[in-house]
Chains A and B, each alone.
Chain A
């Protein structure tokens, strides 16, 4: 079993296979962008940024696998770290904003436009 896994991990990856993963990553990223632009709920907007983080993670791991480099996986650890930090801060802010206006709508804060 271990040898099987090691062999599968050691097999070279073709550009065409990499392209599949990159397409999935880019499609997921674009969905995050669409969601961020169109949704008006603050929490969903932050959820869409998480979707974009996730897409970046898939691309990083696919590239890492392609070049047999573990830096891609190390970087996904940092991506997850930053996502966790961002979630904590953003959600604290969202709760604060919600207590102020009793609504999660982003349009409530249009006065910030200046």
Chain B
């Protein structure tokens, strides 16, 4: 018991030490300053401009300048991305990044400003599709398609169902179908100010802190060019790829066959990561070692699958429990009979009687 407690204490102590000492241990070469990525004046000015734009774009009663606000916010975002690009032009991202980012951010703005919930949900689907495009650029093919299937295909459809199920008649004499609580934003100025303060702080901290996360960076810097292909846990990408491929001998045999190497289905194959060679061992006879053909590497799905099941098996169990609980909770909640309030009952009765009167006339 005592030993356990001291172990916990030790752990807490080391976490505290890491949190305190972590950033300081990074050498000056491993450090990147905000100024190297973007001029802070531009960043903070554009954050302020974005706050004004979003504040203007939020729905409000009477005369609105929604379009002008959205334009200002869009320009501010565009200027930040442009400044980021021009500062380090040789490292600019793919052109598709700008398209997807513009669509994602633009429709995200429309989600929070559109007065009609159904349209907001549809714009959210557009955000999802654009994010899936960003995932594709980031070489996360599996997640890109999973996102479209799960989010746009399942979650958003549920949202649309509920929006249509829980739709409410709009006020008398108003044909636009927009409701009072949808068309008037609550505290737009304060909310925009606080949120864009958060944006300024987060971007400044993130850009500054990107390389100050721990010791990994120093290893990368120390081993020089090409060492970027280093796994954070110290394993090289090549050795991890080899490990994944060695788990799939049939796939490896197929790849070798495609490269024109004579190989029988019963041969044992194993990649030697460091030497970039393959050892082929037939059932009977001597083993031979040949160089690994170019371009033989695991696919994204295979990598994600091995990472998911190999390194996070406990998390999968927890995710399963969460889904089960959500299912049970949703069933219990929706089975419950709701007693209407007195006012709601009265309103309902009024509505019914007026309907009947209308029917008679």
B320-357 near A? 1/0 per residue, CB < 8 Å: 00110111011001101011110010011000000000
Q: Decide: A37 and B191 in contact? CB cutoff 8 A.
A: yes
Decide: A91 near B181, CB < 8 A? Known: A20-B93, A38-B191, A58-B134: no
Which residues of B are found within 8 Å of A44, using beta-carbon distances? 111-112, 117, 120, 182
Q: Report the minimal beta-carbon distance from A19 to chain B, rounded to whole angstroms.
A: 5
A33 close to B198 (CB less than 8 A): yes
Contact at A95–B334, with CB atoms within 8 Å?
yes
Contact A84 B186 (CB under 8 A): no
Encoded as 1 (CB less than 8 Å from any B CB) or 0, chain A from 29 to 52 comes to 111111101111101101110110
Chain B residues closer than 8 Å to A70, beta-carbon distance: 303-304, 306-308
- Give the contact stretch, choosing among B3-11, B163-171, B263-271: B163-171
Q: Point out the residues of chain A lying under 8 angstroms from B32, CB to CB.
A: 15
A54 nearest CB neighbor, chain B only:
B131
Partner of B333, one of A15, A21, A80, A92: A92
Residues in B whose Cβ lies below 8 Å from that of A50: 124, 151, 155
CB-contacts of B162-186 with A (<8 A): 162-163, 165-166, 168, 179-182, 184-186
Interface bits B299-311 vs A (CB < 8 Å: 1, else 0): 1100110111001
Tell me if B232 counts as interface (CB < 8 A to partner A).
yes
Residues 64-85 of A, flagged 1 when their CB comes within 8 A of B and 0 if not, give: 1101111111101110111111
Contact with B along A1-29 (1 / 0, CB 8 A): 01101111110111111111111101111
Contact assessment for B159 and A91 in the assembled complex, using a CB-CB cutoff below 8 Å: yes
Instruction: Tell me whether B210 and A38 are in contact (CB under 8 A).
Output: no
CA distance A69 to B307 in the complex (A): 9
Query: Which residues of A from 63 to 114 have beta carbons under 8 Å from B?
Result: 64-65, 67-74, 76-78, 80-89, 91-96, 98-107
Nearest B residue to A81 by beta-carbon distance? B319
Q: Across the interface, which residues of A come within 8 angstroms of B140, CB to CB? A: 61, 64-65, 72-73, 76
Q: Which of A15, A41, A43 contacts B210 (CB 8 A)?
A: A15
Give the bracket for the number of chain B residues in contact with chain A.
Answer: 35 or more
The residue that A47 contacts in the complex, of B104, B120, B303, with Cβ under 8 A, is B120
Q: Which residues of B contact A101 (CB under 8 A)?
A: 341, 344
| Other A-B pairs beyond A31-B108, A87-B158, 7, CB < 8 Å | A24-B81, A27-B108, A40-B181, A43-B117, A47-B111, A84-B150, A102-B168
A-B pairs, top 9 by smallest CB distance, nearest first, are A35-B112, A12-B228, A16-B88, A85-B326, A9-B139, A14-B91, A3-B295, A37-B191, A70-B307
**17 A-B interface contacts by CB (under 8 A):** A3-B295, A10-B297, A15-B37, A16-B84, A24-B134, A27-B108, A30-B195, A38-B192, A40-B185, A43-B159, A61-B140, A77-B304, A77-B308, A88-B330, A91-B158, A106-B181, A107-B181
Binding site for A on B (CB under 8 A): 32, 37-38, 50, 54, 58, 77, 80-81, 84-85, 87-88, 91-93, 97, 101, 104-105, 108-109, 111-112, 117, 120-121, 124, 127-128, 131, 134-135, 138-140, 142-143, 146-147, 150-151, 154-155, 158-159, 162-163, 165-166, 168, 179-182, 184-188, 191-192, 194-196, 198-199, 202-203, 206-207, 210-211, 216, 228-232, 237, 294-295, 297, 299-300, 303-304, 306-308, 311-312, 315, 319, 322-323, 325-327, 329-330, 333-334, 336, 338-341, 344, 347-348
